């Protein structure tokens, strides 16, 4: 649910990075935070455990400039990927405008990817969303690892909706901004339709 403030001429949208534990959701946000112009981004907040695993969420606000006289602000969130944090994941999905599903390309993580995207489906439905309509982008992360599955394999397993998909190495930034731009475009196109 986007928030449009006609008084301050602002559009606020919420993007959630979803995916299995250790797939690189937080790393995506950290890279964006590092590379964005400081004037265009706010402070990054990570609610994490002492071992730097996401406990509740990471948050990064971005201001991307103006369209039609409206300032566009995007609030990026990650969910905690570990299976047992499901209650927190559901809360973070509330009011989401677009989702980036970050998959771990390693062959050994295929089950976790499938379990996580299925979990996304269930949680979105529970929040009243139609998972087949919400702006969604897939990111196949960790493409640099030797045990990475092929893109066609990942596509067959995870991309039944045939949404935009990107190969990425979030630690070095490959594919990170491409993914972000893609989801933002989908959100704005949805907003243009009137969010109906």
Partner 1 sequence: MTYGNFILHDKEYHDFQVVLKKLLGDAYARVVFLVDKNGSLLATAGETEEFDTTSLASLAAGNIAATGGLASLIGEKEFSILFHEGERDNMHISVVANRVILVVIFDRRSSVGLVRLRVRRAAQEIETILQAVDANAQQQEEAGIEELTEDDIESLFK
* Residues near partner 1 (CB under 8 A): 1-8, 11-12, 14, 42-43, 45, 47, 56-57, 59, 61, 64-65, 67-68, 70, 72, 75, 87-88, 90-92, 94-95, 127-129, 181, 184-185, 188-189, 191-196
Shorter beta-carbon distance to partner 1: residue 60 or 158: 60
Nearest distance, CB of residue 113 and partner 1, angstroms: 26
Shorter beta-carbon distance to partner 1: residue 34 or 144: 34
Shorter beta-carbon distance to partner 1: residue 107 or 125: 125
Nearest distance, CB of residue 39 and partner 1, angstroms: 14
* 3 state SS for the chain: CCEEECCCCEEEEEEEEECCCCCCHHHHHHHHHHHCCCCCECCCEEEECCCCCEEEEEEEEEEEEEECCEEEEEEEEECCCCHHHHHHHHHHHCCCCEEEEEEECEHHHHHHHHHHHHHHHHHHHHCCCCCCCCCEEEEEECCCCCCECCHHHHHHHHCCCCCCEEECECCCCECHHHHHHHHHHHHHHHHHCCCC
Nearest distance, CB of residue 56 and partner 1, angstroms: 6
Nearest distance, CB of residue 106 and partner 1, angstroms: 30
């Amino acid at each position: 649910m986007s928030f449009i403030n006609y008084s301050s001429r602002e559009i606020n949208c919420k993007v959630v990075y979803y995916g299995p534990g250790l797939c690189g959701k937080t790393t995506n946000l950290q890279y964006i935070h590092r590379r964005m112009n400081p004037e265009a981004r706010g402070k990054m907040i990570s609610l994490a455990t002492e071992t730097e695993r996401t406990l509740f969420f990471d948050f990064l606000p971005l201001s991307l400039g103006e369209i039609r006289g409206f300032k566009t602000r995007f609030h990026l969130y990650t969910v905690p990927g570990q299976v047992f944090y499901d209650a927190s994941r559901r809360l973070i999905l509330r009011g989401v405008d677009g989702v980036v599903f970050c998959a771990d390309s390693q062959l050994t993580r295929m089950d976790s990817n499938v379990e996580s995207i299925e979990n996304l489906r269930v949680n979105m439905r529970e929040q009243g969303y139609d998972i087949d309509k919400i702006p969604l982008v897939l990111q196949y992360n960790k493409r640099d690892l030797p045990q990475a599955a092929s893109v066609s394999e990942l596509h067959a397993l995870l991309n039944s909706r045939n949404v935009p998909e990107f190969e990425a190495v979030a630690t070095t930034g490959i594919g990170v901004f491409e993914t972000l731009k893609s989801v933002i475009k989908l959100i704005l196109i949805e907003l243009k339709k009137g969010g109906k």
